[in-house]
Structure 1
Amino acid sequence: MAESVIVITGASSGIGAATARLMSGLGHPLLLLARRVDRLEQLDLPDTMCRRVDVTDRAAVEQAVHEAEERYGPVEALVNNAGAMLLGRIVDQPVDEWDRMIDLNIKGVLYCTRAVLPGMVARGSGTVINVSSVAGRKTFPNHTAYVATKFAVHALSENLREEVSVKGVRVVTIAPGAVETELLSHTSDEQIKRDYEAWKTSAGGALAPEVVAEAIVYAYRQPPNVTVREIVIAATGQEA
């Protein structure tokens, strides 16, 4: 396992960067994808290819995967971590924020999966790990469009697992609660951001990205005939 290349999207910060550090420490060559390639390079990890790629650009994703496989060999695992959390009310949230989340949280997952899945199926091995959210299992105030995209991630992950499990390919869903990342900063409604921060404080704080990364690595490092289908992880004080 340790010689196989792992692809991590949204690897420039937060969960993606933490996962990259852990996987690199285990000896895996990496393909790291993000729009901020300078942040990827600052991780300074060995045997790592860094590419400025927006996962909504299917051709760019496929090209990056091709380059990584030319250098390191077949992709053994994909961590679909790139995503956007743009909170708002359907009645007044800018529609382009819906479009951005649909493109990134759903299409991006599909595009990246498609780029690596045919090879995994042909080889009879591989792991696709989709980082979803507790918001892919239940609803929250001011989360309607975001929840819709994360419910989609849960659904497509489970359906994909049913399609490829007989081919030896594992599909894992990671569903974190609130995590200390940059995601909230992209929400345009300042009151919603303040309310969210107050909610996190009332729960005793959010998860560190490293905690979620450890869950990802745990699922990946199970024997090939074992699939951890879903991990739901949240701060103890987070009731919802």
Structure 2
Amino acid sequence: MKQLTGKTAIVTGASSGIGAAIAVEFASEGANVVLAARRTEKLAETEQQIKDQGNDNVLSVQTDISKQEDVEDLIKQAENKFGQIDLLVNNAGQVLTGPVRSGKVDEWEKMIDTNIKGTLYAIDGVLPSMVERSSGHIINIASVSGFEVTKKTTVYSATKYAVRAISAGLEKELAKTGVRVTNISPGMVGTERNGNAPWPGERKKLETKDIARAVVYAVTQPDYVNVNEITVRPV
């Protein structure tokens, strides 16, 4: 039997990149997958990829994770389609430069609203039923930028530090409840978003499936095992 048969997962930011890879990997392990993102055309591509590998248990929901009402609708549609939510992957994120000296308040707000508030909205939406069932797993995708700050990433790094803090605090809040929390911090990944990012030519960027495999590893451990933190970097 596949490792996630019968489980239902919500993956935010599932229209491309890491989120799409996680969704496809979950589906390949037999999960029911709910795809959430703003770009409906790209969501449709991920959905078709999942169906092409033989899993029709997939639902796409156009979602702006920075809007609480969108998140509430996402969870409602997921529960109506598949029942309880077993896995939540908070992957949606805004990666904008917006250093403090730039004065680009709009960019700061987009990152804060999506990376921090969006993560909290999704957690808030699934957590009560998980605690009631004493079962569930929340996976937050942070970044190595949550450990290291450059002069161009001040605000972005601040949001990823926040995601790591939310993960660490939530794990303590949920101790002995049966609900697990994992924080995953990827290094440079070869995605559409990072395609033009400066990178030494002799070093290979991570592939999205590398992060997806880390997520599957975390969620397929025995119920008494909580993998709290995984950092994945290129060699």
Which stretch has the larger CA shift, 95-104 or 41-50?
Answer: 41-50
Paired residues, number: 225
Q: 1:143 aligns with which of 153, 168, 177?
A: 153
Conserved 8 A contact 2:33-2:57: yes
- Aligned equivalent of 1:8: 11
- Aligned equivalent of 2:204: 205
- Aligned equivalent of 1:86: 96
Q: What amino acid sits opposite 2:155 in the alignment?
A: A
**Per-residue displacement from partner, 1:112-133 (whole Å, max 9, x unpaired)?**
1111111100000100000000
**Per-residue displacement from partner, 1:51-74 (whole Å, max 9, x unpaired)?**
111001111211221121122110
**Per-residue displacement from partner, 1:158-189 (whole Å, max 9, x unpaired)?**
0011011221100000001111123347xxxx
- Aligned equivalent of 1:21: 24
Q: What amino acid sits opposite 1:110 in the alignment?
A: L
Conserved 8 A contact 2:98-2:108: no
Conserved 8 A contact 1:84-1:183: no
What is the SS of the residue equivalent to 1:116?
helix
Identity of aligned residues (%): 40
What is the SS of the residue equivalent to 1:165?
coil
- How far did residue 17 of structure 1 move? 0.5
- Aligned equivalent of 1:188: none
Off by >4 Å, runs of 4+ in structure 1: none
Return 5+ residue gaps in structure 2 as ranges: 51-55
Conserved 8 A contact 1:4-1:73: no
Q: 1:127 aligns with which of 128, 137, 156?
A: 137
- How far did residue 93 of structure 1 move? 4.8
Q: How does 1:115-194 map to 2 (within 5 A)?
A: 115-184=125-194
- Aligned equivalent of 2:61: 51
What is the SS of the residue equivalent to 1:181?
coil
- Which whole-Å CA distance do the structure 2 matches of 1:14 and 1:93 have between them? 29
- How far did residue 148 of structure 1 move? 0.4
Q: What amino acid sits opposite 1:151 in the alignment?
A: Y
- Aligned equivalent of 2:34: 31
- How far did residue 202 of structure 1 move? 4.9
What is the SS of the residue equivalent to 2:221?
coil
What is the SS of the residue equivalent to 2:70?
helix
CA RMSD of aligned residues (A): 1.4
- Aligned equivalent of 2:217: 218
Distance 1:203 1:167, change over 3 A: farther
Conserved 8 A contact 1:31-1:65: no
Q: Does 1:101 align with 2:111?
A: yes
What TM-score do the two structures reach when normalised by structure 2?
Answer: 0.91
What is the SS of the residue equivalent to 2:9?
strand
- Which whole-Å CA distance do the structure 2 matches of 1:152 and 1:115 have between them? 19
What is the SS of the residue equivalent to 1:33?
strand
- Which whole-Å CA distance do the structure 1 matches of 2:232 and 2:103 have between them? 28
- Aligned equivalent of 2:53: none
What is the SS of the residue equivalent to 1:112?
helix
What TM-score do the two structures reach when normalised by structure 1?
Answer: 0.90
- Aligned equivalent of 1:67: 77
